[in-house]
Amino acid sequence: MHVFDLPEAVIKRARSLGAPGETWLTKLPEVVNELAGTWGFTVGNVLAGGSEALVVETRREGEPAILKVGLSGSADLATEARVYRAAAGRGYATLLAHSATRDALLLERLGQPLAQRGVDAVAELERLCETLNAAWQTPPDALRGMLMTGAEKSRWLIDFIDSTWREQGEPCPRAPIDRAIAYAELREAAHSASEHVLVHGDAHALNALTVPDDPDRFRFVDPDALIAERACDLAVPMRENNRELLEGDTAKDALARCGRLARLGGSSEDAVWQWGFVERVSTGLVHFVIDMADEGLPYLHVAERLCDVKP
């Protein structure tokens, strides 16, 4: 039976769920042992990154693969499996196996994340948007009605941002909270099914991994899939680079980033800016929920500076 040295973020996320999370932590070695027998793999090292699953290197029939076991009550690997199947390797990792009962996936082993490739910020955005353009597709009929829409996500974010800000002791001024809610309402009102694609939902540079036999190409992992406008995906890279934004000319640099993402991703600057602001505030608050406030504060500080800025 394997004993796993889980990343701190996974442990904190599990414990934040109470008894179900503690049970998941306790039973994890047994679950992996069962899957190893069923799928015929040997277990390697645990990989860092993310907070809602065990991710571990494996080998099956001599080939490298990745096992992912979802955190009960938090992850939804059944949805991920549907997205991987629909993508069939286009912009996403290839799915090798899926267990609905164990909420587990076995995926092809990809290479280094884009975030660790040492490219500059502009090149990183270009590669990320190239991968998004490859991954975006008309939502398959099999996924319609099963995935959250952009309008539904907007409504969920409005409730989450307002309630979490209060529950976490008002960790920033009210102004960025009100601005995020207003922007989410605008994106909800702009909902248009004709502009929808299957979006990844968490398209940052740690989720874009190198294709082993083609180092200039990348594929996504860990989709939080929904059916929405492209700007919903572009919001995730828009929320990044908080340290650089705080150290530089915050408004000028953020506007430049927004314009570049809009051009590369085929979206309007207003949509990217609004989704990006909402994503920045909500991500900052999520870090407070999982007891990582020090990492969440920069998101909120940048949002505070950008409250009255528009493209």
pLDDT tens-digit map of 56-114: 999 999 999 999 999 987 877 998 999 999 999 999 999 999 999 999 999 999 999 99
Which of the listed residues 64, 93, 108 is the one where a domain comes to its end? 108
104/175 same-domain check: no
For residue 267, give the CATH number of its domain. Answer: 3.90.1200.10
244/280 same-domain check: yes
Residue 205 domain-assigned? yes
Closest CA to 191 of 76, 277, 274: 274
What is d(CA 95, CA 82) in angstroms, rounded to the nearest whole number?
9
- Binned at pLDDT 50, 70 and 90, residue 2 comes out as low
3-state secondary structure (DSSP) of residue 65? strand
Which of the listed residues 71, 90, 108 is the one where a domain comes to its end? 108
pLDDT tens-digit map of 16-55: 899 999 999 999 999 999 999 999 999 999 998 778 899 9
3-state secondary structure (DSSP) of residue 92? strand
Q: In this predicted structure, what is the pLDDT of residue 1?
A: 56
118/93 same-domain check: no
- Segments forming the whole domain that contains residue 72: 8-108
CA distances to 230, 295, 305 from 276, in Å: 12, 18, 14
192/214 same-domain check: yes
90/138 same-domain check: no
Q: What percent of the chain lies above the pLDDT cut of 70?
A: 99
214/260 same-domain check: yes
pLDDT tens-digit map of 259-288: 999 999 999 999 999 999 999 999 999 999
Beta-bridge partners for 227: 149, 198
What is d(CA 55, CA 69) in angstroms, rounded to the nearest whole number?
7
274/162 same-domain check: yes
Residue 3 domain-assigned? no
257/291 same-domain check: yes
Cβ-based neighbour number of residue 129 at 10 Å: 23
Which of the listed residues 68, 93, 108 is the one where a domain comes to its end? 108
